[in-house]
Amino acid sequence: MGGSMSTDRFPLKVGLMVPANNTTMEVELAAWLPAGSTVTTVKIPRGAGLLTKETLPAYRDSAIALARQHFANAGLDLIAYGCTAAGFISGPAGDAELSAMLTEATGLPVVTTARAMVSALQHDKAKRIAVVTPYSDMVNAQLEAFLADGGISVARLDTFRAPDVTALGRITAGEVRDLARATMGPDCDALFIGCSQLPTHAILDGLEAEFSRPAWSSIRATAWDAGRLPAAT
């Protein structure tokens, strides 16, 4: 099942990159990584508004400069790029390009949350899924296109439509669970909760058991993909 993770993996030293407003991913990523892993977080500056195609280039340039400054000689195993919306807005090709640029800047392998989402769902052979996000319709459409590129269709989707980062930060795990329950259906192979700010560590196992189907989130998928990386390199 989707969230099941082996306990015999080696600890990892992860350099995490998230938006400046993110208060969730560092703690939850560490909880899902192999025991003894460490997470060193660098926060990428951003405005109060949510990311758009117009603001993304400056955001990306800032991420690359910060990665070079903080991670190039830090003794890390990998970088986790945890800004989910940025990956969707960039699209699969842009997300892969950013990953390559971060590797060029630091010499480290990179896991991006957007790509980890697709890899995790493909691993579970999910073809039709339910999705919960905090995003606008524009970003949700780009999320659907990103998944479609990986052969996955979105059968059901609902969103909190957070208007800004303050509203986004107020969404609770209980609210996420309730919206996931209302959105998931028997016609879906899996559930995916998008956004690395939404808290999901306390609720995913319960949702998986309730639906008897894989339940993933941005953070859980990132931890899973990071855990696969050393074996593949």
Question: What does the pLDDT look like over 125-183, one tens digit per residue?
Answer: 999 999 999 999 999 999 999 999 999 999 999 999 999 889 999 999 999 999 999 99
Q: Do 63 and 30 fall into the same domain?
A: yes
- Considering the domain architecture, whether residues 191 and 225 belong to the same structural domain is answered as no
Quick check: helix, strand or coil at residue 213? coil
pLDDT tens per residue, range 172-228: 999 999 999 999 999 999 999 999 999 999 999 999 999 999 999 999 999 999 999
* Tokens encoding 212: 């008897």
Of the candidates 7, 11, 54, 43, which has an alpha carbon nearest to the alpha carbon of residue 30? 11
Phi/psi of residue 109, each to 5°? -65, 155
CA 129 to chain centre: 16
3-state DSSP helix/strand/coil percent for the chain, to nearest 5?
45, 20, 35
| pLDDT tier at 50, thresholds 50, 70, 90 | low
Confidence of residue 230 (pLDDT cuts 50, 70, 90): low
Q: Give me 155's structure tokens.
A: 């059968």
Instruction: Give yes or no: residues 123 and 214 share one domain.
Output: yes
Q: Are 178 and 199 contacting, i.e. CB atoms less than 8 angstroms apart?
A: no
Same domain, 79 and 169: no
pLDDT at 1 over 70: no
Q: Which two tokens stand for residue 59?
A: 């955001």
Higher per-residue pLDDT: 59 or 192? 192
Q: Could you report the per-residue pLDDT of 110-120, keeping only the tens digit for each?
A: 999 999 999 99
Both 88 and 125 in a single domain?
Answer: no
Residue 45 lies in a domain: yes
The reply to whether 92 and 141 lie within a common domain is no
- Position 83, amino acid: C
In-domain check, residue 208: yes
pLDDT band per the 50, 70, 90 thresholds, residue 8:
low
Strand runs (DSSP E) across 105-208, as ranges? 110-112, 128-133, 153-159, 190-193
With respect to residue 74, please indicate whether it lies within any of the assigned structural domains: yes
Residues 105 and 30 in one domain: yes
pLDDT at 47: 67
What residues form DSSP beta bridges with 129?
A: 154, 190
1 occurs within a structural domain: no
- Which amino acid, one-letter code, is at 122? Q
Q: Contact, 141 vs 89, CB < 8 A?
A: no
Question: Does the pLDDT of residue 233 top 70, yes or no?
Answer: no
Largest Cα span, the chain: 48
**Do 17 and 55 lie in a common domain?**
yes
* pLDDT at residue 206 in the model: 98
- 82: pLDDT strictly greater than 60: yes
Do 51 and 140 fall within a single domain?
A: no
Rg (CA), the chain: 16
Residue 142 structural domain: 116-218
pLDDT tens-digit profile of 18-39?
999 999 999 999 999 999 999 9
- My answer on whether 213 and 144 are in the same domain is yes
Domain count, the chain: 2
What pLDDT shows up at residue 37?
A: 97
- pLDDT class for 49, splitting at 50, 70, 90? low
Q: CATH number of the domain that 138 lies in?
A: 3.40.50.12500
Beta strand pairing call for 215-217 and 190-193: parallel
